[in-house]
Structure 1
Amino acid sequence: MTTDAGLTTATVRRAADAPPLISADDLPPARHFVDGKFLDGSTERVIDVVDPSTESVIARIPEGTSEDIDRAVAAAVAAKASWARLVPKDRSEVLHAIADRVAEHTELLAKLESANTGKPLAVSRDDVGMTIDTFRFMAGAMRATTSMAAGDYAENHLSVILREPLGVVGVITPWNYPLLMAAWKIAPILAAGNTLVLKPSEQTPLTTLKFAELVADLLPAGVLNVVNGYGAVAGARLAEHPDVDMIALTGSVNSGRAVARAAADTLKRVHLELGGKAPVVIFPDADLAAAASSLRTAGFWNSGQECGAACRVLVHESVAEEFVGQLVDEVRALVVGEPQAGEDVEVGPMVSKAHFDRVTGYLERAKSEGVRVATGGGALDGPGYFVAPTVLVDVPEGAEVAREEIFGPVITVEAFADEEEAVRRANDVPLGLSASVWTENARRSHDIPARLDFGTVWVNSHLVLASEVPWGGFKGSGYGRDLSVYALEDYSRTKHVMHNHGS
């Protein structure tokens, strides 16, 4: 596989003459949201919230402590009994009202999300749209849950299966999709009859706080609580708290390990949606143009800061050269820029300086190890944490960039010789969240996905999601499912009640 060695070819489109995305009036209160109201923290320490496009501070939030978590958990405990007693219809109407409220403020939330994360407005609007759909789906699904039929399974004894809330759920959400990942947790947790305490990422808390502000009058006090802070303090206390019945996290593998360890002493349930390293397996009969076009989106959506991103191409050696050429053409056409620099901007910055350094570090090590840069390959000039959309080729089996989650605008390309090698190499990563298979062969389209060790496998597409179907992984990607009725099951428990009706 050969290509012209490429230097960084992209430039960042700036928005020097554009008005700011948000004003001070658009910001949520820079406080914790506990027991239905915004409250100051227990200390005066604050965390800077940075716009990654400009590196300027746009807000300061309180640095939450164990005491702040304890106060929020106490509010959730006090509210759980009355919320759990509501019949499904009543809880459903609240979730529909939340969806309506979010829909009314779509543009505000999208601009706030882009200002905080740097993501293009198209991505932020998509996040808000799916947030609305998540609440609407859960509002309906909670009214149509099914279970084992009541009946006599032992002579003269009637068995009835009840589905009950767990109680209080602790939630820790990531920086890459702060509003949407909060919705993926909040909606089924509330639908199942639980209350919750949520800790957003300290880097991107603004849309979560704004969401709490917008829906405060729709929920009873204490049902939804938001505490800002760092994972090592606020997140750890939430995971270990004896009055929290379950901890649910979307985040890194290391964060998942820390949460699981902290939860172990109280034997609470743990729900982990962690990282991914999605292989894209392209066979010689695939529509190569369609695959390259799909990867333009699926590999670089949210600047590649996406756990399901199409980041690792395994392409048959007979079509590798042709496919790489088409992929590079697509990637070089991507528009990189600040979110207010135009509706056609497709790729924004990395979320923080630390993550920017991490991503560029992977690229520098790959180049030093002889991996070839087909396009991109490094940082872009100017303020902000921008990295050029990158395609790396001639990637050897087992290379760091082919095994570890870079979580940036980077696609690696490897070649394989036959089906057995493709399956073996696709599975030879510690993560198992998602994958895709590209082929026009009907047998192969069923056989290969069945042999891939990933929670979602797309055929001839990638990164297509729907609220009706589950999302979650295997192996190092964690356990538990977001979206679908399976999420409702995760956030509830079954109870068997048996009645002796014999004489």
Structure 2
Amino acid sequence: MTTTAHHTGAGVRRAADAPPLITSADLPPARHFVDGAFLDGAPERLIDVVDPSTEEVIARVPEGTAEDIDRAVAAAVAGKDRWARLVPRERSEVLHAVADRLAGHTDLLARLESANTGKPLAVSRDDVGMTIDTFRFMAGAVRASTSMAAGDYAEHHLSVILREPLGVIGVITPWNYPLLMAAWKLAPVLAAGNTLVIKPSEQTPLTTLKFAELVADLLPPGVLNVVNGHGAVAGARLAEHPDVNMIALTGSVASGRAVARAAAGSLKRVHLELGGKAPVVIFPDADPAAAASALRVAGFWNAGQECGAACRVLVHESIAGEFVERLVGEVRTLAVGEPRAGEDIEVGPMVSRAHFDRVTGFLERAKAEGVRVAAGGGALEGPGFFVAPTVLVDVPEGAEAAREEIFGPVITVETFTEEEEAVRRANDVPLGLSASVWTENARRAHAVAARLDFGTVWVNSHLVLASEVPWGGFKGSGYGRDLSVYALDDYTRTKHVMHNHER
């Protein structure tokens, strides 16, 4: 495989004369939300919220303490019995009302999300749309839950299986999809009859706080509580708190390990949706043009800050040249820029300076190791934390860039010769969230998908999600499932009640 190194030439499209995405009136209260009301934190402990497209501070939120978490958990404990006693129809109606409220504020939520994360407006609108759909799905699912049939499984004894809420759930959400990842937890947690305390990422708290503001009158006090803060303090206290019955996290592998350790002391349940390093296995009978076109979206959606991103291509050597040529052609035409620079913007910045440094560090080390750059390859001129959409080729087996989660706009390309080799190498990563198989052979598609050690495997597509089907991984990607009725199961417990009816 041969190709020529090429940096994306268009650079970052700026929006100097465009109106701002948000005004001060659009911002939520920069406070914690506890027991149905916004409360002040310590005024001397504030966290800057930065627009990663411009590096400007757009808000400051209080840095939550262990005491703030304790106060929120106490409110959730006080509110749990009332919420749990509601019948499914009543909770369903509240969730539909939440979805309606969000739908009425779609534009505001999308603009706020883009201002806080830098993501294109098209991505933020998609996030809001799926957020609404997640609440609508869970509102319906809670009214149609199924369980083992009641019956006599021991002579003269009637067994009844009950599904009960767990109680208080601690939720920790990431910076890449602040509103959507919150919804993936909140909707099933609330549908199942639990109360909760959520700690959003300290980098991207604005849409979570706006959510609380928008739905404050729809939920009883104590059901939803939001505490801002850092993981090492607020997150750690939430994970270890003895009155929290389960901790649910979407985040990095390191965060997952820390949460699991903190939760072990009280033996609470743990739900972890962690990182991914999705292989894209392209066989010789696949359509290279279709695969390259799909990866334009699946590899660079949300600037590659996506745990299911199509970031690691394993392509058969016989079609590798054609595939890379088509992929590079797609990547060179991606529109990079600030979200307010146009509706056609496809790729935004990294979320922070620290993450920008992390991604560009991966690229520098890859080039130093002899990996060749076919497109992109480094930072774009500031302000803002922009990295050029990148394709790395001639990547040797076991290279850092092909094994570690870069979490940026980077696709690596490796080649293989035999199916057995492709499956072995696809599985030879510590993460197991998602993968895709590209082939026109139905038998091969079924056989290879069955052998891939990943929680979701797409065939001839990648990064297609639906509320009805589960999302979650194997191995280092964690355990537990988001979306679908399986998420409802995660946030409930089973109780067996047996009645002796012998006469």
Q: CA deviation at 1:9?
A: 2.7
1:73-222 correspondence runs (5 A) = 73-222=73-222
Counterpart for residue 37 of structure 1: 37
Q: For 1:321 and 1:436, locate their aligned partners in 2 and report how far apart those are by CA, in whole Å.
A: 20
> What amino acid is aligned across from residue 40 of structure 2 in structure 1?
D
Structure 2 contact 8–332 (Cα < 8 Å) conserved: no
Q: For 1:462 and 1:183, locate their aligned partners in 2 and report how far apart those are by CA, in whole Å.
A: 22
Q: For 1:53 and 1:464, locate their aligned partners in 2 and report how far apart those are by CA, in whole Å.
A: 27
Q: CA deviation at 1:185?
A: 0.2
Q: For 2:382 and 2:153, locate their aligned partners in 1 and report how far apart those are by CA, in whole Å.
A: 70
Q: CA deviation at 1:6?
A: 1.8
Q: For 2:256 and 2:382, locate their aligned partners in 1 and report how far apart those are by CA, in whole Å.
A: 35
Q: For 2:9 and 2:330, locate their aligned partners in 1 and report how far apart those are by CA, in whole Å.
A: 13
Counterpart for residue 446 of structure 1: 446
> What amino acid is aligned across from residue 294 of structure 1 in structure 2?
A
1:9-20 correspondence runs (5 A) = 9-20=9-20
Q: CA deviation at 1:43?
A: 5.5
> What amino acid is aligned across from residue 56 of structure 1 in structure 2?
E
Structure 1 contact 274–307 (Cα < 8 Å) conserved: yes
Q: For 1:481 and 1:302, locate their aligned partners in 2 and report how far apart those are by CA, in whole Å.
A: 22
Q: CA deviation at 1:214?
A: 0.2
Structure 1 contact 171–197 (Cα < 8 Å) conserved: yes
TM-score (norm 2): 1.00
Deviations, residues 14-56 of structure 1 (Å, cap 9, x unaligned): 0011000000000000000000000011453000000000000
Q: For 2:80 and 2:122, locate their aligned partners in 1 and report how far apart those are by CA, in whole Å.
A: 37
Deviations, residues 403-430 of structure 1 (Å, cap 9, x unaligned): 0000000000000001000000000000
Q: For 2:344 and 2:400, locate their aligned partners in 1 and report how far apart those are by CA, in whole Å.
A: 33
- Unaligned stretches of 5+ residues in structure 2: none
Moved over 4 A (4+): none
> What amino acid is aligned across from residue 217 of structure 2 in structure 1?
D
Q: For 2:2 and 2:413, locate their aligned partners in 1 and report how far apart those are by CA, in whole Å.
A: 11
Q: CA deviation at 1:8?
A: 4.2
Q: CA deviation at 1:397?
A: 0.1
- Unaligned stretches of 5+ residues in structure 1: none
Counterpart for residue 284 of structure 1: 284
1:271-310 correspondence runs (5 A) = 271-310=271-310
Q: For 1:294 and 1:85, locate their aligned partners in 2 and report how far apart those are by CA, in whole Å.
A: 46
Deviations, residues 116-153 of structure 1 (Å, cap 9, x unaligned): 00000000000000000000000000000000000000
TM-score (norm 1): 1.00
Deviations, residues 35-92 of structure 1 (Å, cap 9, x unaligned): 0000011453000000000000000000000000000000000000000000000000
Q: CA deviation at 1:488?
A: 0.1
- SS of 2:114's equivalent in the other structure is helix
Q: For 2:382 and 2:242, locate their aligned partners in 1 and report how far apart those are by CA, in whole Å.
A: 48
Q: For 1:288 and 1:2, locate their aligned partners in 2 and report how far apart those are by CA, in whole Å.
A: 16
Q: For 1:189 and 1:9, locate their aligned partners in 2 and report how far apart those are by CA, in whole Å.
A: 46
Structure 2 contact 7–388 (Cα < 8 Å) conserved: no
Deviations, residues 293-320 of structure 1 (Å, cap 9, x unaligned): 0000000000000000000000000000
Structure 1 contact 10–388 (Cα < 8 Å) conserved: no
Q: CA deviation at 1:94?
A: 0.1
Q: For 2:420 and 2:96, locate their aligned partners in 1 and report how far apart those are by CA, in whole Å.
A: 48
Matched, 1:466 2:474: no
Q: For 1:63 and 1:356, locate their aligned partners in 2 and report how far apart those are by CA, in whole Å.
A: 23
> What amino acid is aligned across from residue 393 of structure 2 in structure 1?
V
Counterpart for residue 373 of structure 1: 373
Structure 1 contact 8–378 (Cα < 8 Å) conserved: no
- SS of 1:162's equivalent in the other structure is strand
Q: For 1:10 and 1:300, locate their aligned partners in 2 and report how far apart those are by CA, in whole Å.
A: 16
Structure 1 contact 42–67 (Cα < 8 Å) conserved: no
- SS of 1:414's equivalent in the other structure is strand
1:230-245 correspondence runs (5 A) = 230-245=230-245
Q: For 1:289 and 1:191, locate their aligned partners in 2 and report how far apart those are by CA, in whole Å.
A: 43
1:62-81 correspondence runs (5 A) = 62-81=62-81
Q: For 2:24 and 2:126, locate their aligned partners in 1 and report how far apart those are by CA, in whole Å.
A: 24
> What amino acid is aligned across from residue 320 of structure 1 in structure 2?
A
Deviations, residues 273-300 of structure 1 (Å, cap 9, x unaligned): 0000000000010011110000000000
- SS of 2:453's equivalent in the other structure is coil
Q: CA deviation at 1:10?
A: 3.8
Q: For 1:344 and 1:291, locate their aligned partners in 2 and report how far apart those are by CA, in whole Å.
A: 22
Counterpart for residue 336 of structure 1: 336
Structure 2 contact 13–337 (Cα < 8 Å) conserved: yes
- SS of 1:336's equivalent in the other structure is coil
Q: For 1:269 and 1:54, locate their aligned partners in 2 and report how far apart those are by CA, in whole Å.
A: 40
Counterpart for residue 383 of structure 2: 383
- SS of 2:222's equivalent in the other structure is coil
Counterpart for residue 484 of structure 1: 484
Matched, 1:351 2:373: no
Structure 1 contact 375–390 (Cα < 8 Å) conserved: yes
Q: For 1:298 and 1:8, locate their aligned partners in 2 and report how far apart those are by CA, in whole Å.
A: 19
Structure 1 contact 396–414 (Cα < 8 Å) conserved: yes
